[in-house]
Amino acid sequence: MKFLKTSLLVALAWLLQSCFDSDEHIFNGEETVEITVDASLARSMSVLIPSVKADTFTTSDTIFFLTTITPNKIIRVQDYHWLMDGVYCSSEYNFKKQITEPGYHKFTFVLKDHFGDMHYDSLEVWIADPPTLNDSAYVPASGTQAIDPYEAIYFAWSATTKGIQLKHYYHFTLYEQIFANSESDFTPIDTILTEPHYTFHNELNSFKKYDWTVEVYNDYGFTSEQKIESSFFTKGLPGEGSLQTTLSTSQDVAIPALITLQDLSNPDKTLKYNYTLSRIDNKISLGSIPAGKYQLRISSSLTDFKTIEKEVVINDGYITMLDNITLTDSIKPRIASVSGLDSLPFADSLQFVINDAGGVMYSQNISVYLESDLITDKIFKDSILTVHLNKNEQSWAYRILTITATDGSKNTETKSFYILPTTVWFTTNSDTTIASDESITFFINDHNSFGFKVDSLIFFNVTKNERIVSVPNTGTNSFTANLEASLFDEFQTIRSTVLYKNGLSQSKDWNLSITKARAKEDE
């Protein structure tokens, strides 16, 4: 029995001891490792995109929830998971999620370590789509006319953010249209509103166009894709209207323009407006015009621009808006030599006239080529183009000089001239003056070094456009003929030509002047 009692006491002691883990009851701080959790969110897994603790997203965004565990993720843990607004969400360290419920959401990462200690980190997310601005129903409607400039003007529009009640902010602007021919004393409005309407109480100007815009963004900073861009027109005194248009030109630089409005009910009554139009500053307003029917004429003192005419109606209180009008110059520059000839003898300086009635011509818009060689030695001044040629550009053959000129309206004219051969293989007469009672010896002596056979030798009166002498199939390289002065006029240009059997030919022009015999005696 005693043994039984002793055994019971031992068993009792052993069982009680088993309830306590006596080996672990003494805390040793050196054996512990501090555990920290760090949660973050990002728009992608790219390392270039920083992760943050809070951000705003749209319902179509994918949000990446990331966790960093210190010392690492392979420590012994009992549990870890994510909560979204306090409700279980995921049991991954990292996960991605698209949140379709607009509003504020709190995400908490929860980790229970091996010892049962809890570790938390939280993130904040705001979800909303960009606001939608109703850009089809607003007040006043686009193009509204006859707004009284002395009364209040009411602007109203609407915007919503789907699925959530958010505060909206409206960027509202109001500007007066700037015209090329008038100045504006209107102070533009550019403001942020918290209500979707605006009342303008100040005075506007008569017969003006006003542009207004609205953009909206919500409390989460999302901006609407839509934008209201509208305009309205003010009226003026009773019985008057106005006309506005955009006048374009085909030219980059400003040009003078004359606009006339001839009253069709009273042709003697004509309104005239002079403007200088440029490509960017070209919106014009003709101000107050008595209501009625008019013949509109738009022209320019630059005569290459075609005049535009059309009938317009000016209505009482309204601004007549004309579609864009373009004054067009479609006439090319005109190119000619100063002599008027297209075949020119070679010279150190050749001069040409380049005219364009569509504005000023500039040297950089003129190019000159001798065959394929660009000639840069040129001067263009006062419509005269002077081209300088080098001696080494002389040739026994015809050469082609091509001039290209482009005016301010991009009209381009290209014209080619022939440069007469200057190196000839024969000798002939030079410019000669004889008395009317004398004679002259015409001669041609060919001495080409290439051995070309001569086919014909010709003297031609260029001035009278008739042949003087032609020696076909001569078989020789020279020819002479003595001709009396009475056969010729007072002045003529003679062309001596050698035609070779291989098809080549060479010519030289020279002048023959005939003076009166008596005048010679007087000398």
Task: Write out the residues near other proteins by the rule CB under 8 A.
Answer: 1-2, 5, 8-9, 12, 15-16, 19, 134, 137-141, 143-147, 153-154, 156-158, 195-197, 199, 232, 315, 318
Residue nearer to other proteins on the CB measure, 97 or 235: 235
Q: Which distant-in-sequence residues (6+ apart) come within 8 Å of 407 by Cβ?
A: 304, 329, 332, 333, 356, 358, 359, 361, 365
Residue nearer to other proteins on the CB measure, 142 or 324: 142
Residue nearer to other proteins on the CB measure, 131 or 333: 131
At 242 the three-state DSSP class reads: strand
Chain-centroid distance of CA 57 in Å reads 37
CB of 29 to other proteins, least distance (A): 27
Parallel, antiparallel, or unpaired for β 270-277 and 334-337? unpaired
DSSP state of 460: E
CB of 156 to other proteins, least distance (A): 4
Tokens of 237: 């005194």
Max CA distance (Å), the chain: 187
Residue nearer to other proteins on the CB measure, 197 or 283: 197
Residue nearer to other proteins on the CB measure, 143 or 239: 143
CB of 3 to other proteins, least distance (A): 12
Tokens of 466: 């008739």
Count other C-beta atoms under 10 Å from residue 463's C-beta.
15
> 303: closest CA among 282, 340, 334, 281?
334
Residue nearer to other proteins on the CB measure, 140 or 256: 140
CB of 146 to other proteins, least distance (A): 6
CB of 352 to other proteins, least distance (A): 56
> 324: closest CA among 283, 280, 273, 275?
283
CB of 148 to other proteins, least distance (A): 8
CB of 163 to other proteins, least distance (A): 17
Residue nearer to other proteins on the CB measure, 315 or 427: 315
CA 105, CA 86: separation in Å to the nearest integer?
10
Q: Give the strands of the sheet with 36-42, arranged side by side.
A: 36-42, 63-70, 95-97
